[in-house]
Amino acid sequence: MFFFSLDDGPIQFAAKNPRKRLKSSPYATAHSYPLCGVSFDSLNTRLISCDINGNIKLWRLKTKTLISSTSIIDQDNSKIHITKMIVHRDSGLISLAFNDYTIKIYDF
């Protein structure tokens, strides 16, 4: 598990004990499925996370709170999964690659 620090300067990551689970952290249960992408916005104030089941979440880093959440895959179609997420930091566009060899672009 990784934690970040928003003190003066760049964001710093520090590895913590992966065997010790943080039950009070909002990130401990942020996604129910494996992640396929994590990215920061252009100002490093928000974090965008995406899991393979199509759940995209936008987090405010300073307060560690969820700003927005959306699911882009119909839950009835369990054969389709996201394999990769790339964020264009300047424009806020998100490109998603799927296991059916399609690519979709979203403005988040």
* The model scores a pTM over 0.75: no
Cβ neighbourhood burial of 66 (10 Å; 0-12, 13-18, 19+):
middle
Q: Give dist(CA 41, CA 87) in Å, integer.
A: 8
Q: Chain centroid to CA 76: how far?
A: 22
Q: Give dist(CA 95, CA 86) in Å, integer.
A: 5
Indicate which CATH number applies to the domain containing 79: 2.40.10
Domain residue limits at 94: 30-107
Is residue 63 included in any domain, yes or no? yes
14 pLDDT above the threshold of 70: no
Distances (CA, A) of 28 to 22, 23, 41, 57, 87: 6, 6, 21, 14, 23
Confidence of residue 12 (pLDDT cuts 50, 70, 90): very low
Tokens, residue 45: 């104030």
Is residue 43 included in any domain, yes or no? yes
Is residue 65 included in any domain, yes or no? yes
The chain-wide mean pLDDT, for the chain, equals: 78
pLDDT tens digits for range 17-33: 555 554 555 556 688 88
**Percent of the chain having pLDDT more than 70?**
70
pLDDT tens digits for range 42-93: 888 999 999 998 899 999 988 888 999 999 887 766 788 999 999 998 888 9
9 pLDDT above the threshold of 50: no
Residue 13: per-residue pLDDT: 46
Is residue 47 included in any domain, yes or no? yes
Is residue 15 included in any domain, yes or no? no
Q: Give dist(CA 9, CA 12) in Å, integer.
A: 9
